[in-house]
Amino acid sequence: MTGPQQVRIYTDGACLGNPGPGGYGVVLLYGDRRRELSAGFRRTTNNRMELRAAIEGVLALTRVCPVILFSDSTYVVKAMRDEWAVGWRARGWKKADRQPVANRDLWEWLLTISEPLSIEWRWVRGHAGDKENERCDQLANAAARGKDLQIDVGYEESLA
């Protein structure tokens, strides 16, 4: 008897300027099933899109099962794998140097949805020929260049 099948999630974020229009791309692989997700935002940052890609990938799961999430963002992978984000939350969303954590809204969201799951966070080198990472990059960049871009409320509210 075998356990639940593993889901592989590939993610990437892109920003045309930083800040500027941005987008995320996600590829989910489960057995022979494939699902691609992407969306664009009118004004955001690359790090926010990297985080948003991970969030959307996790939100797309339809059942609890083992997950490997691949990202070319060391910011996302180290913060989750090495539990930096857990430490930030424990310190009242302050980094070790006591400065506020950027993108707190997205970190809170990612921790909330990922903590009940079994996720292995893996870094993959960007633009190095990994087929799924390259596809995520294409999706993210196309979304950033799209029409009718969404509002990244967390980012735009931080500017007010």
**Is 72 considered catalytic here?**
yes
Q: Is the per-residue pLDDT at 94 higher than 80?
A: yes
* Among 158, 55, 70, 57, CA closest to 106: 55
In CATH terms, the fold of domain 7-147 is Nucleotidyltransferase; domain 5 (3.30.420)
pLDDT score at 159: 85
What contacts 126, CB < 8 A, 6 or more positions away? 12, 72, 133, 137
Half-sphere exposure (Cβ direction) of 104: Cα atoms closer than 13 Å? 14
Active-site residue, selected from the candidate residues 56, 132, 137, 152: 137
Give the 3-state secondary structure of residue 98.
coil
**Is 13 considered catalytic here?**
yes
**Is 137 considered catalytic here?**
yes
> What are the residue ranges spanned by the domains of the chain?
7-147
Q: Is the per-residue pLDDT at 12 higher than 70?
A: yes
Active-site residue, selected from the candidate residues 50, 56, 132, 152: 50
pLDDT, tens digit, for every residue of 16-36?
999 999 999 999 999 999 999
Q: Is the per-residue pLDDT at 1 higher than 50?
A: no
Active-site residue, selected from the candidate residues 83, 115, 120, 127: 127
Q: Rounded to two decimals, what is the model's pTM? A: 0.95
**Is 127 considered catalytic here?**
yes
**Is 108 considered catalytic here?**
no
